[in-house]
Structure 1
Amino acid sequence: MRVIAVANQKGGVGKTTTAINLGTALAAIGRRVLVLDCDAQGNASTGLGVEPQARRKTSYDVLVGEGTLAEAIVPTKVPNLDLVPGDENLAGVETVLHSDPRKNFKLREAFDALVKSGKHYDTVLIDCPPSLSAVTINAMTAANAVLVPLQCEFLALEGLSQLLRTVD
């Protein structure tokens, strides 16, 4: 399972658009894809047509141990493409996890449990928030690749250098 964190500390650079479009393209060629919406805005969830009332369990629940990835997965209208929705509760993850010594490994542990449950995806795309938060650190810790969308402007490049220092 290839896990890709779509991350950049700068907002508005196309993280969500990249996660949705790349996920849809991979699903169209027959890959089993899971998009994990880890942004409190929940735009990847909305963009993939999952209404708020269909979001029984979210990535927040997974991160704070109130649900598993398998419980949070919802199908989308795109064949081969599933979603773990996000919601505004993600803004409070830092507060809940601050004293947990394993706080940076919650998603990695969740993916390990998903594999053990027999659920298989070829690619997982994690749509990260525009900050270097506990959520983004979890995503990068769980990922085996980081995709950094950016615009051709100075401030976007500055955000890239900050993110690369964190990855190193």
Structure 2
Amino acid sequence: MTETDGVRQTQGTDDETTGESTVDANRVPEGHTSDDNRGDEAHDSTEDTEPEVFPAKVVKDLRKENARYRERAQKADTLAHRLHTALVGATGKLADPTDLEFDEAHLEDPDALAAAVDDLLARKPHLRARRVAGDVGQGNRGKTGNGPDLLEAMRGTL
């Protein structure tokens, strides 16, 4: 008998010298007394305390299946977080969309998402997205004006 992660697994073995099975069907578990007068109720309570035994192949298959489900759930969680970040970024109200914590209700209800963003901005206005407006003094500004130009001076057009 082997025990793996709390699940007992048994395999019947034959005694090579006598050819008999080593599993004793009439064996009394330790701590129990053999009393034939107890009836069916006593027999049922003994079965309830014994853990179920599954073959090793079934246990391994179940573990593999559960591992696949855990990987799927992890992938779904990752995609849900990415979708939440994209939805917050699409509002254009926050400088960094990851500032709003993930909530599944935001994925299903756009009004809840908008309310959460507005609430966050009311509490922390420094997280608001800033837009540059007006002339900031950078970039190509075209011809600068009517001042003297060296090229024109050389041509003699000055």
* TM-score (norm: length of structure 1): 0.18
Q: Which has the larger radius of gyration?
A: 2
Give the strand-richer structure, 1 or 2: 1
* TM-score (norm: length of structure 2): 0.19
Give the helix-richer structure, 1 or 2: 2
